[in-house]
Amino acid sequence: MSLLQPKKIKWRKPQRGRMKGKASRRNKVAFGEYGLQALEPCWLTSRQIEAARIAIVREAKKGAKVWIRAFPHKAVTRKPAETRMGKGKGDLDHFVSVVKPGHILFELSGVPEDVAAEAFRKAGHKLPIKTRLVKAEGV
């Protein structure tokens, strides 16, 4: 299983930041016919993205094209268990994608709407947030 992570990062231990407001980018279906839209803010780990991708691919079968619109750019650090406070920031643990409400997480084309709805429903169960199916403006 090859998890998503950046090849190179500018800062090894970034600060946490905030997830305030709605997504102003990546909030429209750009490539496929249907999209899976986030309705809540969260940090999506690369494992969660991969689990949802597998669920979509299994349900959609052949002839479907899947786009992953969330990429885990942000590094998250963690200190070892039972460690006292202080002594600096922990070591890099995993990567996350910062998701705001309205962000399109996955896109799908080449399948009927009912198949896309079922694929996105199953993918939504793998994610820690509420999601919904959205259609491209031309469909």
22 assigned to some structural domain:
no
Are the C-beta atoms of residues 83 and 54 closer than 8 Å to each other? no
- Whether 68 shows a pLDDT value over 90: the answer reads yes
State residue 1's pLDDT score: 53
Mean pLDDT over each residue of the chain, to the nearest integer:
94
Which residue range forms the structural domain that includes residue 60? 46-77+92-135
Model-level pTM greater than 0.85? yes
133 in helix, strand or coil? Answer: strand
CATH code of 73's domain: 3.90.1170.10
Residue 64's pLDDT band (boundaries 50, 70, 90)? very high
31 assigned to some structural domain:
no
- Which residues is 94 bridged to in the sheet? 76
From the list 123, 97, 81, 120, the residue with the least C-alpha distance to 44 is 97
72 assigned to some structural domain:
yes
Count the domains in the chain.
1
- Whether 93 shows a pLDDT value over 80: the answer reads yes
68 assigned to some structural domain:
yes
Structure tokens belonging to residue 13: 């231990």
State residue 69's pLDDT score: 96
Structure tokens belonging to residue 102: 């309205």
